[in-house]
Structure 1
């Protein structure tokens, strides 16, 4: 869990819109890319209609289709998800208030 109430006001937000298999679009805030065991994983935070104090991040594996296009793939392995999230938490321990 991520408590984002302490974001700095001058924090620049990058928004990514993803489309699921059913064609539904959802906006996410790009947080970071983490490398783990030779793979890259994108860390995203869902953009909600209303501001929330707590949010769960989404972690997806990046597949490069070519030099300009990427595909994001869900991860079923809970151990990989936890290890990638642990790297992210360590990197941003001073910027976010993480909750277990």
Structure 2
């Protein structure tokens, strides 16, 4: 029996290849929700994989869907907000040690 995890999503690229991602975090910017995804492939590699950011929206059936951010200004704003949140978490971890 395989264990189904809520924090794993499968995305299909333009070539029809499926890729598994772990949902690392959800956060909000300007009243829109975003998800941070990390690729699960290549976990054994020393090279750190880059996180992907998607906007979370609802389709006409009320299901959550991930939408690629195509607007450069929106991307910069969201990426900056994520980096700021990551910096705050690292500062809190340093204080606890």
TM-score normalised by the chain length of structure 2: 0.67
Is 1:47 matched up with 2:20? Answer: no
Q: Which has the higher helix share?
A: 2
What secondary structure does 1:92 align onto? helix
State whether residues 34 and 84 of structure 1, in contact with CA within 8 Å, keep that contact through their aligned partners in structure 2: no
RMSD across aligned positions (CA): 2.1
What secondary structure does 1:54 align onto? coil
Count of aligned pairs: 81
State whether residues 19 and 41 of structure 2, in contact with CA within 8 Å, keep that contact through their aligned partners in structure 1: no
> What are the Cα deviations for residues 34-82 of structure 1, in whole angstroms up to 9, with x where unaligned?
2112211111111222333322111111111245x21111111122112
Structure-to-structure mapping, 1:52-67, within 5 angstroms: 52-65=46-59, 66-67=61-62
How many angstroms does 1:26 deviate by?
0.5
Unaligned runs of 5+ in 2: 1-6, 92-97
TM-score normalised by the chain length of structure 1: 0.65
Q: Mark the structure with the bigger radius of gyration.
A: 2
> Runs (4+) of structure 1 moved beyond 3 Å?
20-23
